[in-house]
Chain A
Amino acid sequence: MAERTARVTWNGTLFEGRGTIESVGSGAFGPLDVTWAARAEEPEGLTSPEELIAAAHASCFSMALSNGLAKEGAPAERLETSATVTFVPGTGITKIVLAVRGVVPGLDETGFVEQAQAAKAGCPVSKALAAVPEITLDATLA
């Protein structure tokens, strides 16, 4: 079992105030400021819940794919993944687009796509986000 923590504070109103991701359990990042304007308009250097979800999904997927390829006997030299999260205020998170390019000696495109599909279905963050209406995957060998 693994527990991971984060602490966030907010001062003032939603639209004029600002929040701060003060710290996380590992100490790896923080403080990071967040504002409503940065979330809903241009980020201007500030992160947002949706960007953090994208980061969680891209990294979880990469680990699962790396593990699947190794089990298949074709370990990856390098995987490059991006996750793009679409958020519609009032509706919710409507779409996540995963795109991965892999350097995988000894595996053809079909085999790579199969492993990428399995990682998309099986990684813990994908399972936690299973209620997102649309999650797409584009997998190619570099």
Chain B
Amino acid sequence: MPRIVREADATWEGSVARGAGVVRASSSGAFELSMTIASRVADPEGKTSPEELLAAAHASCFITSLGSELARAGTPPEHLDVHCTITMDEVEARGHLIVASAISARGRAPGADAASFAQAAEAADVGCPFSNLIKASATVTIEATLEEAD
């Protein structure tokens, strides 16, 4: 199998409390974003954070797995919509931990019923590399809703 390599860079200037960082998508050049500690733990005020980047990673990883599972079941999707919420919390004696990733998936897949859509979502959780990794520290929950075809 081919090895796929992707790189990102972050620079940080000054202290954590008063300094600021910039994170860049170095492989693709698709984004360059600033962040601060305040934007990470309090109100984001338009700035991203490591946890938000993980939410985008999990949602985009899961959605490709779900599409692939639905196709495998003979019911390829017309449209999928996935929302991910990552929660970071301070855990006694363990510091800050990413404790949860909640996936909510909706989609239209002609030929699928609610049960087969839910089954595909469960298989997508097993197949998505990011779901597997993040279970080291977090609880992953999947909610799947099949939408009626137009």
**A residues lining the B interface (CB < 8 Å):** 1-14, 17, 19, 21, 24-30, 32, 34, 36, 38-40, 43-63, 65-67, 70, 75-94, 122, 124-125, 127-132
Contact = CB atoms under 8 A, between A and B. Distances in A.
Contacts of A67: 16
Nearest to B23: A59
Interface stretch (B27-35, B114-122, B142-150): B27-35
B93 interface: no
B12 A79 contact: yes
B44 to A, nearest CB: 4
B79 A9 contact: yes
A24 B89 contact: no
B10 to A, nearest CB: 4
A28 B52 contact: yes
B76 A34 contact: no
Given A54-B7, A55-B53, A45 B29 contact: yes
Interface in B9-34: 9-17, 19, 21, 23-31, 33
Nearest to B133: A131
A54 B27 CA distance: 10
Given A6-B84, A10-B80, A58-B23, A52 B33 contact: no
B31 A127 contact: no
Contacts of B13: 77-79
27 contacts: A1-B89, A2-B40, A4-B55, A5-B84, A6-B56, A8-B82, A10-B77, A12-B78, A26-B47, A27-B44, A43-B27, A49-B129, A55-B10, A56-B51, A59-B23, A63-B16, A63-B40, A66-B16, A80-B11, A85-B7, A87-B5, A87-B6, A93-B129, A124-B50, A125-B50, A128-B137, A132-B133
A-side interface mostly: mixed
A123 B129 CA distance: 20
B21 A62 contact: yes
Given A59-B10, A128-B137, A24 B48 contact: yes
A4 B130 contact: no
A86 B129 CA distance: 12
Contacts of A66: 12, 14-16, 19
Given A2-B41, A39-B4, 18 more contacts: A7-B59, A8-B60, A9-B80, A11-B78, A19-B63, A28-B46, A29-B33, A47-B25, A48-B27, A49-B61, A52-B54, A55-B8, A55-B25, A78-B11, A79-B12, A124-B51, A124-B97, A127-B137
